[in-house]
Structure 1
Amino acid sequence: MSSEAREWVWEHSSSRGTARLVLLSIADRVADDQCVSWASLSSLAKRTHASVSTVREAIDRLVDAGELEQLDDLTGPQRSTVYRLPLAAKAVAETAEGDENASHASKGEPEAVSALRISALRRCGIRPREVPESPVRGRKPAVPESGRSRRKPAPRRTGNRHSDVPATGTQNRSEPDLNRRYSSSGAAVLSAAEWQVDPATHTWTRQQGHLDRLGEEGLRAADAKWRAHRAAHTPRAAEAWAADWRSWVAREHAPSRPNLYTVPGKNTTAPGGMTRTQAHTAALLAALDEPTGTEG
C-alpha cells in the first residue's frame, strides 16, 4: 500500500521542499490501507539529506497542515516513532468503497481512518507503547485498540540524541560540503573567509568568459582581493556570498590592463609628491601628447 500513499503525496499534498521529502519517506514505509508508518528522526535525516533540526521543523509543518499525525501510544521497530497519513488513508478508503458509497464516505471519516487495527499493525513491527509501572498510581490502563493520535509532537528535549547524524547537515546535494554551517533557522551562515567557490560558481566563470578574460592567476587574484575586502563583513548565507563574489569578478579588470598612473616613456609609478588627482591629470596629458602617426 505504500504506492498508494506515495501517489497521494505526489498528487495531492501541499507540502514543499524538505517537508515533502520527509512525507514521501514516511509514506514509503506504509504497510496497509491504514496509511500507518514508522521512522526515526535519524533515518529521515539520512534519507532526505537534511539535518535533524530541519526534519523536526518539517514534521511540525506537516502536522499543522493536517497531512501527518504522530501516534504517541504506538511504537515501531527499535522504538521508532509511529506516524499516520490521515488524508491519504481517507482517500484510500473512499477508493475501496467504490462509486456507490462515495456520497456516504463524504459525510464522515471512514472506519479505516477513525479506528486503527492494531492487530494488523503488529505484523509490521508496530505495537502499543509499554507504559512503565508507577510506584504511586500503579500501572496505567492498557492502550485501547484504536490508538490515540495527536496534532502536535511532544515537546523536544534539549540537545541531539542521535549521535550518528550531525546536528546540522547539507540539505541540498548541489550544495558543497564546505559551505555547511547552519544557523537555528536551517540556513547556511558563514564568513567570507569560510565560503568556498562551489562548482556552480566555477562553471559560471567559464560560461561567462571571465576565466578566459582574467586567466587562472587573475581569477585567484580577484578572489584574494574580494576576501580581503569582505573579511570584516558579517556572516551570510552561502548563496549570498556566491552572488556577491560573481558581481565582484564581473567588475574585475584583467591583469594586463595598463596602469592608470603610467606615463609613456617614464616610470610606471606615480611621481613622488603628486596627489592622485595630479597623477591622473598627468597621465591624461601624456596620452594627448603621444604621437598617433597621423600628424602631417
Structure 2
Amino acid sequence: MSRDAVIDRAAEQVGRAQADKALRPTIAGFFDEATYTVSYVVHDPATNEAAIIDSVLDYEAASGRTAHGSADRIVEYINTNNLKVMWLIETHAHADHISAAPYLQQKLGGKLAIGKEIIRVQEVFGKLFNAGTDFQRDGSQFDKLFEDGETFRIGELEGMALHVPGHTPADMAFLIGDAAFVGDTIFMPDFGTARADFPGGDARQLFQSIRRLLSLPDETRLFLCHDYKAPGRDEYAWETTVKQQREENVHVKDGVTEDEFVEMRTSRDKTLAMPNLIMPSVQVNIRGGRLPEPEDNGVSYIKIPVNAV
C-alpha cells in the first residue's frame, strides 16, 4: 500500500472515531519530570483492553541504579481500573530515558512492539557499543515489529502504525481511534520539533514525516512524548491537535517550506548537547528495554564509548 493510501485509511479511521464516541480511546498521561517524558495508558472503555506507550524506567546515572517508581504508577492505574494490557508500544528507541516495558510486561502481560526499522538502529548502535555477535540485530528482542500502515486492535478500538522517520530511522506514530501518539517527531506548538542529528536521523525526512501527520484531519488529537515547557509557559502540556500544529507550530506551521525547515533544524541541532542519558538509554532500548547480559560476576554493565561520537 502506498504512503498516500495509508494516510487516507488513517483519515477514515479518525472520521469514524469522531462520528462514534465508542471508537475513541480513554487516555491517561503519566509525566516524568526527570526526563520530560510522557507515558500513556490507552484503553477501550467497552472491553478494558489497553496499551502502554513509551514507559519510563527510573535511572540514576551517577550511581547506575534503576528504580520502578514511574512504572509502578502505571501498574497501579492499570490494576485500579481493571485493565487488561494487550500491547507495550515503543514509538522508537529512546535516547533520553530507558524503557520500563520488560518490567511492565512481567507485571501485566502484553506484547512488546516497535517499528520494523529498529533493525537499522540496532545495526548502527550495535557497532558503536561493540555489542558483539551475541547481540541480535534482527528485532527479535520485541514481540512485534510494525510496518507502515499495519493495523491492530485494542478491544473494539482501531489502531494503525505510521512510519515517521527523521528523528531516527525507526520512529513510528500510533493512531488509536482519533488519537495519534507521535513520539519524538513534534512537540507543543510553542516549542517546535524534534532534533534530527542522531545517527540515521534526517531533517528532510523529519519535515516530510511531520507534514504526513499534519495531513490527518484537523480534529485529530496528537499526544506528545515530551514537553520541555517553552519560555513563557508555566505548565507542562502534551496534548494538541493537527489544526493547532498547522496554525501555530513555530518550526513547521503551514507556510514553512521544506528547505526553510531543513536549514533551521540543521542549524539548531548543531547547538544542542547530547541528551544526558543517551549512552545508557540507547544501549538498553535497542535490547527492548533489557539490560546487557550480566557478566561472570552477576552484574550488568553499560558501556560508554570514549571519543567515538
Is TM-score (shorter-chain normalized) higher than 0.5? no
Q: Which TM class, normalised by the smaller chain length?
A: under 0.3
- The normalised TM-score by structure 2 is 0.22
Bigger CA radius of gyration: 1
* Structure number with higher helix proportion: 1
